[in-house]
Amino acid sequence: LVARWQVGLDLSRLSLQRLTPSLISASAAATRWDGTPSDVTTDGTRDTATEADAADLGFALTALPLPSISSLMHAKAQLDLRDPVARQELELMPQAGYYAGDYGATYPGHRRVEVLMVRYEQVTPELAARWGLTAGSTWLLGQKVTGDQHVPQGEVSFRVPLQGSTGESLLRRSQTDDGVIGWLGEGCLARPGFRGHSYVQGVLLSWPDGRVSFQWDRSQDSVVYEMLDF
């Protein structure tokens, strides 16, 4: 398993510290301090060129809340998992925070590196309606901070069920190999424009050094993400 992923590791390190701050800044700057989208001009019209640039980078010109790493970690620590085995397993799961991955040379250089927010969430009715989940269930979510033409900003790239709405444990260990641990989950696949998107079964992999990756059950390219320290 580790040997299979070794090919992609050098690519995943490419200019992460140099590129990702600007990508996050671009995402956060999508809305001005007064709450108006940054593509709305002083006369109230929309700057279509700015909209096109944003779409090319994989995010819409709306504000995506970016919680602090400490608040994301606190949310994980406060999860109320009833099953004692699931609580122990939670300690082995990826740290909540921000991760960056290199999507390879098939993507243009300006959006080759993408950023994910790994968060642990008890699903609210609002999120349930948006993502097709059951309200009250608990999940690990890999949400895109910057996206691409397939899965844009704000959408969930992968997800792992932890607990059902009635408290039943849904967390399932998949495999362990040389310190790499996997949990059953679902990854998003979509055509350009997020058309026909669906969640397909696979495994979320976690390395001892903090890297993560989602591997689909079917033949599909996967990306190794490294945690950002900022």
Average confidence score pLDDT of the chain: 78
Q: Please state, for a pLDDT cut of 70, what percent of the chain lies above it.
A: 70
Q: How many CA atoms lie within 13 A of 82 on its CB side?
A: 10
Using alpha carbons, select from 164, 88, 178, 101 the residue that is nearest to residue 133: 164
Residue identified by tokens 């608040």 is: 71
Distance between CA atoms of residues 226 and 17, nearest Å: 11
Flag the least confident range among 5-9, 17-21, 109-113, 158-162. 5-9
Q: Which residues, listed in sequence order, are joined to residue 180 by a DSSP beta bridge? A: 177
pLDDT digit string, tens, across residues 188-213: 999 999 999 999 999 999 999 999 99
* pTM (2 d.p.): 0.76
